[in-house]
Amino acid sequence: MSVPAIEANGLTVRYGEVLALDEASLTLHPSRICGLVGMNGSGKSTLFKAIMGLLKPESGTVRINGDTPAKARKSAAIGYVPQSEDVDWSFPVSVHDVVMMGRYGHMGFTRRPAKADKLAVAEALERVELTDYAHRQIGQLSGGQKKRAFVARGIAQEATVLLLDEPFAGVDKRSEATITRLLREQASAGAAILVSTHDLHALPALADEAVLLMQKVLMHGDPQTVLRPENLALAFGLDVLGRDENS
């Protein structure tokens, strides 16, 4: 068995008196896509931050490809696509520059892009169909185009672990299809991908496995099993898919 791409064991995180994660554990292997499902406040964003090493848990450990999150970040092994509301879209940076940020871990201290960096950015922009928008300010793009730009950053980074926080929120059908295709291609190339999403209908077509999170990991398995109404009721307390459980 290969070394897990993500191995989180017994993560407990508190914000003051608020318990955000309660001994949450998750293992994800290379070439797999995992959908992370839970209601708002269930700990999804906190789990992402813990996996990336951006916060220190009260207890528990995280390994990325067998290394610490800090080493994974330094080597550009882990990439992150944030929620739209976490980005300052007025910042004066072009789409090209956003994607080039994914190459910083491959550059020296001067951060002067080499030929390989420029080629990686050009290829990533082409794959997300944004070549013609490369020199636009990032805030001028549509919601779907913005998401594709950040996915391109992860592709250019050549990250072996990719975390995406609500990548399908507010995107058009074309962008959703493009992002889904790209994530499947990245997984086929060996990447491990963790996707937080509320789009439960689309998840089975995207993900190889799914996790139900409510501070604890309630269930981890194949999407068809995890997303059964009786299981979703544990995490959401209602029939989120609108199914008739008596049918």
pTM: 0.89
Task: Report the candidate in 52, 80, 79 with the shortest Cα–Cα distance to residue 68.
Answer: 52
Least confident among 33-42, 46-55, 170-179, 205-214: 170-179
Q: Does domain 6-236 have CATH number 3.40.190.10?
A: no
State the CB neighbour count (10 A cutoff) for residue 111: 12
The count of C-alpha atoms lying within 13 angstroms of the C-alpha of 198, restricted to the half-sphere facing its C-beta, is: 11
Q: How far apart are CA 73 and CA 52, in angstroms?
A: 7
C-alpha distance from residue 135 to each of 54, 93, 153, 161, 179 (Å) = 31, 9, 15, 28, 21
Give per-residue pLDDT as tens, 188-245. Answer: 999 999 999 988 888 888 999 999 999 999 999 999 999 998 898 878 876 555 544 4
Task: Give 154's Cβ-side CA count (13 Å radius).
Answer: 28
pLDDT bracket for residue 130 (50, 70, 90): very high
* pLDDT greater at residue 77 or residue 2: 77
